[in-house]
Amino acid sequence: MQGFAGKVAVVTGAGSGIGQALAIELGRSGAKLAISDVDTDGLARTEEQLKAIGAAVKADRLDVTEREAFLAYADAVNEHFGRVNQIYNNAGIGHTGDVEICDFKDIERVMDVDFWGVVNGTKAFLPHLIASGDGHVINISSVFGLFSSPGQAAYNSAKFAVRGFTEALRQEMILAGHPVGVTTVHPGGIKTAIARNATAAAGLDAEELARLFDKRVAHTSPQRAAKIILGAVRKNKARVLVGPDAKVLDLVVRLTGSGYQRLFMPMLGKLVPSPRR
Ligand SMILES: NC(=O)c1ccc[n+]([C@@H]2O[C@H](COP(=O)([O-])OP(=O)(O)OC[C@H]3O[C@@H](n4cnc5c(N)ncnc54)[C@H](O)[C@@H]3O)[C@@H](O)[C@H]2O)c1
């Protein structure tokens, strides 16, 4: 894939899944990479692969919820490469559990990583992206930022918030005449460790939930997802739906308005079981 030669790209959560695939695909296309994760073993594997293909890479442990560290990291990346062109705010976690049984702290944790992590990354890097004269913010939401599911209130909240935040930012950049593209990404089921890394409320079997996700939901490879996302970034698309499932689900939601809830509930209720239902 061409089009990213010489660009400096930042990828959070690059030690696994979509983030790892994005980093490698960007490296193959000639980009220089600043990769980070809390999982330093996974991050080291991504760094090795990038070095093997000859990409310039800076790898750092970064927790996206730590705002001060994120701000310092943005300056360090800018200093290291001399500029920053793109940030992929990708790091994310899942949590399953009905509102009735979720702890406040579980909902807060998902918001901290999946929403505030995106806000931290966007705001930390925005001045550098504007200064580059050729910037792009790519924020990873989900199909769960387009419709809600029983058992996913925390994740839905974060992913809807990412969508709202990113769609506003795109308009702001255009109105201000800033040279920064903005893209919201809505993946469907991607074959990654997301469900295996996720937590679940008391009374739910997290392993069984992960098995169901792997078997019934995750159909698109992270490599394919990365190619689709980068294709959309090249065209500066406002929104990209990743995978055939995402396209169908988006269409149904747009055609039915709130009616999707009645349509999806029986299927989603089985996929995301709860001891209270
Ligand atoms: N896999 C899917 O089906 C799917 C669908 C829609 C959206 N997404 C989103 O895609 C993004 C990537 O997820 P994935 O599927 O590749 O999952 P993954 O679990 O394979 O990778 C996520 C990475 O984020 C890292 N991470 C978690 N918390 C972090 C923190 N506080 N700071 C820094 N790094 C942190 C993890 O260590 C991991 O390496 C997430 O935002 C996820 O919500 C995934």
Let me know if residue 208 belongs to a domain. yes
Let me know if residue 169 belongs to a domain. yes
Label residue 1 by pLDDT band (50, 70, 90).
Answer: very low
For 239, which DSSP code?
E
- Per-residue tokens: 114: 């999946």
CA 32 – CA 37 distance, rounded (Å): 17
Q: Which of 98, 97, 150, 95 lies closest to 264 in space, CA to CA? A: 150
Residue 242 CA, ligand 1 centroid: distance in Å: 15
- The residues near 178 (Cβ < 8 Å, ≥ 6 apart) are 130, 135, 172
Length of the chain: 277
Atom of ligand 1 at shortest distance to CA of 94? 43
Let me know if residue 185 belongs to a domain. yes
Residue 177 CA, ligand 1 centroid: distance in Å: 32
Number of other residues whose CB lies within 10 A of the CB of residue 75: 14
What would the pLDDT profile of 120-154 be if each residue is shown by its tens digit?
A: 999 999 999 999 999 999 999 999 999 999 999 99
CA 97 – CA 204 distance, rounded (Å): 8
Let me know if residue 276 belongs to a domain. no
Q: Give yes or no for residue 16 CB within 6 A of ligand 1.
A: yes
pLDDT of 3: 73
- The residues near 109 (Cβ < 8 Å, ≥ 6 apart) are 93, 95
Backbone angles phi, psi at 151, to 5 degrees: 85, -5
Let me know if residue 196 belongs to a domain. yes
Q: Number of folded domains in the chain?
A: 1
* CATH code at position 210: 3.40.50.720
What would the pLDDT profile of 202-251 be if each residue is shown by its tens digit?
A: 999 999 999 999 999 999 999 999 999 999 999 999 999 999 999 999 99
- CB 186, CB 240: distance < 8 Å: yes
Let me know if residue 277 belongs to a domain. no
Q: Which residue range forms the structural domain that includes residue 53?
A: 8-269
Let me know if residue 3 belongs to a domain. no
pLDDT of 273: 82
